[in-house]
Amino acid sequence: MAMSDASGNDVAIGNETDSKGRLLTSDGRPLRAALERANRRRKLTAFGLVAPLLAFIVIFFAFPIVQMMWRSVDNPAVVEALPRTLEALQDWNGEELPSEDVYRALYEDMMADQDLPRLEQKIGPLAVRLNYEVSAARGAISRTSRNVDEFEAPYKEAFMDAHRLWRDTEIWRIIEREGRPLTASYYLAAVDAEYNENNEIVRTDENRRIYVALFGRTFAMSLVITFMTFALGFPIAYYLSSLPMSKANLLMIAVLLPFWTSLLVRTSAWIVLLQGQGVINDTLVGLGILDDENRLSMIYNQTGTIIAMTHILLPFMVLPLYSVMKTIPPSYTRAAKSLGATPWTAFRRVYFPQTLPGIAAGGVLVFIISIGYYITPALVGGQDGRMISNEIARHIQSSLNWGLAAALGSMLLVSVLLLYWLFNKLVGTDSLKFG
Amino acid sequence: MSASASQDGFVVFDKVQKSYDGETLVVKDLNLSVGKGEFLTMLGPSGSGKTTCLMMLAGFETATNGEILLDGKPINSVPPHKRGIGMVFQNYALFPHMSVGENLSFPLEVRGMGKSDREAKIRRALDMVQMGDFINRRPAQLSGGQQQRIALARALVFEPELVLMDEPLGALDKQLREHMQFEITRLAHDLGITTVYVTHDQTEALTMSDNVAVFDDGRIQQLDPPDVLYEAPKNSFVAQFIGENNTLDGVVKEIKGEHCVVELDGGELIDAKPVNVSKVGERTRVSIRPERVEANKDRLAGDAHTIKAKVLEFIYMGDVFRTRLKVAGNENFIMKTRNAPDQVRHKPGDMIEIGWMPTDCRALDFG
């Protein structure tokens, strides 16, 4: 074809090579080395620009995350508190109560602990740790350890008199199982499973299962919220992208407003609107659409959480959509129409497919943010609008089971990464456009 | 203005007006008739209303007043997708998420054509623009010229009788543009399609068209075949806009039929052909093409008026010499002479005497 523009004339000068066939510069240095030297300064500048943020991220983001994930398997309490007991337990058959040797070892461990300075004592953490597994453990251990200096041989009897827990093989089984530096028990708890008396993994009782259902609900609600932001955001973004810049900016402010209002103000507004005696219910009753007894419950439940979160996360959908739509020239739709497509076909087959990168970006953004959202479900979620992050927060703030919180958090993180990987496989990240 | 449009053209604009804001007219009283199979170019500076006219014809803008007829039928209320007009856009508007084949298949699919018919037509259209090997490529993988060809093939694949082109060659480099100009005209004539072509490039308009409509200020200033447009511009705007042009201002001294004498503002007398002037004493702007200016007195008629000129600059351009002169106060008076062995190469500072055939010097309206 006459349009090829390749000249095809190779220039012979500058093509000298050394013995290994590498290209040389005109003064005989290897070309690669020369290039590297020329680029070094640029690379150093680039690194210098990135370094502060990199350091910040490593110290305040990457490091805590790794530490958090470590906490979900880290299990030092038993190993550190009961080294002698664990050694003695090695010969235990696991069927009946351990022998006098084991009880003596336990006595020695507890006595040794009392000699330590208060801040280095290990029995306290042990009591907390074992309490996650069996709820009487905390009281039993702390009570026993307070009185242990009065114990006399045979220690087995002494311990069994001190608390009924020491008469039960279960506590010994737990000590043996958790007497390792790493544990899976937090993850088991996080997926509603536990060990039975034969050290087999089984599901917990039906009425004690929480987390699997909570994960499921979190995902389902996030999906609903993502879809809602899409359904509300797409038309707005489309309209905005068709407006001239000055008008679009004005309307964009309306979209961004949720970013700029205080969370509490916003939430109070939702409460005023949505509560049983709120504006919406009063209006509906006043108009005779609802009976006074059948007022809608729209807050302190899932509905409230979904409504509020859709509002808050809407900009995350609108912005990527808008930025993608802004780059689609109107001539595509016009071309489709001139080729005979009805406006609907032109939209469906020509316009819409080109907005997919924006939909994907907005969807991923909204979904990932809502999966880990904490504050809104905590404020307006009530009981059935709670999400997994509320449970994580509870374990960190009130139940103080940081291992379980870490396990739940790690699972959340991994599932987000997994989704992102899956998304990347299906759609490809290069088509993401965050604006 | 051209004569009122005849109603028998294939495309007819009948007293069409367009306003966006209700206060100013972008298109003012447009009357235009395009015959079947004709290649018409709308030429004009940006903002002259030419693209608006094309968009009204395509159906993306509605005429504020007046009627547009296609094959005798008014189309003002016909939506664009029912007009059956092929269109090539400035940026090609190839659908980026579809392959070349899918792009071409699109107009056929929306017409409900069967698969085998579609494939045959796509094949034929691609062969027509010599792009048969590119059927599976994405538009982004094609060069500008190749995209241009595909856009052309897509506009033609459903065999429309009318094709509109909106500055389709604007993004191509010079060489490719010239090549595509030739290809487009060849295709249009071979297929016998009526073409309305919009451009601001006068070379393109002159080389491609059967007729050129020169737009300015929302009106057609002149509608004529290219040679007439170039050689016999009807007013100063057309004379200035098409090709290179020298102008001198003066007053009509006498008129005798097809000949008049103009007294320039500096007092010099020159011969001209009256075009837009009718009476003695009228102010006029005369226009002379640079290649019709003659410095060799032997080639002028004996009684021709000549005028003194000072050489300011001499540019050697290969095939021609371009001499910039100061004539009657105008320092941008250009004389183009063919590079021939006997041709004089003037030096800056030389005083020479120039003249022209009275028929080449047109006395037009004063701006």
pLDDT, tens digit, 9 for 90 and up, residues B189-206: 999 999 999 998 888 999
Catalogue all structural domains in chain B, each as residue range(s) with its CATH number: 11-236 (3.40.50.300), 245-364 (2.40.50.140)
Q: Which tokens is A57 given?
A: 């991220």
The predicted-structure confidence for A91-104, as pLDDT tens digits, reads as follows 888 788 898 889 99
CB contact, 8 Å: A431 with chain B?
no
B203 burial type by CB count under 10 A (0-12 exposed, 13-18 middle, 19+ buried):
middle
Q: How many domains is chain A partitioned into structurally? A: 2
Q: What is the CATH number of the domain that holds A316?
A: 1.10.3720.10
Is A252 contained in some domain?
A: yes
pLDDT of residue A322: 93
pLDDT of residue B296: 82
Least CB-CB distance to A339: which of B145, B158, B164? B158
Q: What is the mean pLDDT of residues B261-272?
A: 86
Interatomic CA distance for residues A318 and B258, integer angstroms:
70
Same-domain check for residues A379 and A235: yes
In chain B, count H helices and then E strands: 8, 19
Q: What is the mean pLDDT of residues A141-166?
A: 87
Is A21 contained in some domain?
A: no
Q: What is the mean pLDDT of residues A378-400?
A: 89
Is A7 contained in some domain?
A: no
Q: Which tokens is B160 given?
A: 């429309």
The number of C-alpha atoms within 13 Å of A117 and in the hemisphere containing its C-beta is 2
CB contact under 8 A, A331 and B179: no
Q: Which range of residues forms the domain containing residue A229?
A: 211-431
Q: Give the nearest chain B residue to A330 (CA atoms).
A: B93
Is A64 contained in some domain?
A: no
The predicted-structure confidence for B285-319, as pLDDT tens digits, reads as follows 999 999 988 888 777 777 777 888 999 999 999 99
Q: Which tokens is A170 given?
A: 């279960």
Interatomic CA distance for residues A263 and A308, integer angstroms:
11
Q: With H, G, I as helix, E, B as strand and everything else as coil, classify residue A416.
A: helix
Interatomic CA distance for residues A425 and B105, integer angstroms:
29
The CA distance from A351 to the nearest CA of chain B, in Å, is 9
- DSSP for A22-56 reads -BB-TTSSBHHHHHHHHHHHHHHHHHHHHHHHHHH
Q: Rounded mean pLDDT of chain A?
A: 87
pLDDT of residue A4: 42
Of the three residues A163, A181, A199, the one that is the final residue of a domain is A181
CB contact under 8 A, A336 and B146: no
Predicted-complex ipTM score: 0.82
H-type alpha helices, chain B: 50-58, 100-109, 115-128, 144-156, 174-191, 202-208, 226-231, 236-241
pLDDT of residue A423: 82
B269 burial type by CB count under 10 A (0-12 exposed, 13-18 middle, 19+ buried):
middle
Q: Where are the beta strands (DSSP E) in B177-319?
A: 194-199, 211-216, 219-224, 246-256, 259-264, 269-274, 283-288, 307-316
Single out the residue of A138, A161, A135, A130 nearest to residue A148, CA to CA: A161
Q: Which tokens is A197 given?
A: 């008396």
Same-domain check for residues A219 and A171: no
pLDDT of residue B310: 93
CB contact under 8 A, B81 and A340: yes
Residue with tokens 């987000």: A416
> Taking 90 as the threshold, does the pLDDT of residue A20 lie above it?
no
Residue to test with chain A: of B51, B70, B87, B156, most A Cβ within 10 A: B87
The predicted-structure confidence for B206-248, as pLDDT tens digits, reads as follows 999 999 999 998 999 999 999 999 988 888 899 888 888 898 9
Residues A313 and A288: beta-carbon distance below 8 Å = no
The CA distance from A419 to the nearest CA of chain B, in Å, is 25
Least CB-CB distance to A341: which of B96, B110, B145? B110
pLDDT band at residue A261 under the 50/70/90 scheme = confident
pLDDT band at residue A429 under the 50/70/90 scheme = low
Same-domain check for residues A268 and A337: yes
Interatomic CA distance for residues A191 and A215, integer angstroms:
9
Same-domain check for residues A224 and A136: no
CA angle A392, A395, A400 (to 5 degrees): 150
Same-domain check for residues A362 and A287: yes
**Residues of chain A positioned with their CB less than 8 A from the CB of B93:** 329, 331-332, 334-335
pLDDT of residue A397: 92
AA letter at A62 = A
pLDDT of residue A204: 87
The predicted-structure confidence for A98-123, as pLDDT tens digits, reads as follows 988 899 999 999 999 888 888 888 88
Q: Give the nearest chain B residue to A356 (CA atoms).
A: B97
Same-domain check for residues A282 and A150: no
Same-domain check for residues A134 and A224: no
CB contact, 8 Å: A334 with chain B?
yes
CB contact under 8 A, B79 and A2: no
Same-domain check for residues A164 and A262: no
CB contact under 8 A, B106 and A334: no
Q: Give the nearest chain A residue to B148 (CA atoms).
A: A3
Cβ contacts of B75 within 8 Å, gap of 6 or more: B59, B68, B69, B83
The CA distance from A330 to the nearest CA of chain B, in Å, is 9
Interatomic CA distance for residues B349 and A291, integer angstroms:
102
Peptide bond into B226 cis (omega under 30): no
pLDDT band at residue B1 under the 50/70/90 scheme = very low
Same-domain check for residues A351 and A218: yes
The CA distance from B158 to the nearest CA of chain A, in Å, is 8
Cβ contacts of A97 within 8 Å, gap of 6 or more: A156, A167, A169, A172
Interatomic CA distance for residues B233 and A177, integer angstroms:
102
pLDDT of residue A15: 62
pLDDT band at residue A7 under the 50/70/90 scheme = very low
- Predicted TM-score (pTM) of this structure: 0.78
pLDDT band at residue A258 under the 50/70/90 scheme = confident
pLDDT of residue A383: 85
Q: Which span out of A23-37, A117-131, A218-232, A386-400 was modeled with the highest average pLDDT? A: A218-232
> Taking 90 as the threshold, does the pLDDT of residue A318 lie above it?
yes
CB contact, 8 Å: B59 with chain A?
yes
Same-domain check for residues A161 and A247: no
Same-domain check for residues A137 and A270: no
pLDDT of residue A430: 63
Q: What is the mean pLDDT of residues A241-266?
A: 86
Of the three residues A137, A165, A181, the one that is the final residue of a domain is A181
Angle subtended by helix axes A137-147 and A169-178, to nearest 10: 90
Of the three residues A181, A198, A228, the one that is the final residue of a domain is A181
Q: Give the nearest chain B residue to A333 (CA atoms).
A: B93
**Residues of chain A positioned with their CB less than 8 A from the CB of B60:** 334, 337
pLDDT band at residue A254 under the 50/70/90 scheme = confident
Single out the residue of B84, B88, B106 nearest to residue B97, CA to CA: B106
CA angle A27, A33, A34 (to 5 degrees): 50
Residues A183 and A142: beta-carbon distance below 8 Å = no
Q: What is the mean pLDDT of residues A180-194?
A: 90
CB contact under 8 A, A334 and B89: yes
Residues A375 and A392: beta-carbon distance below 8 Å = no
Same-domain check for residues A170 and A251: no
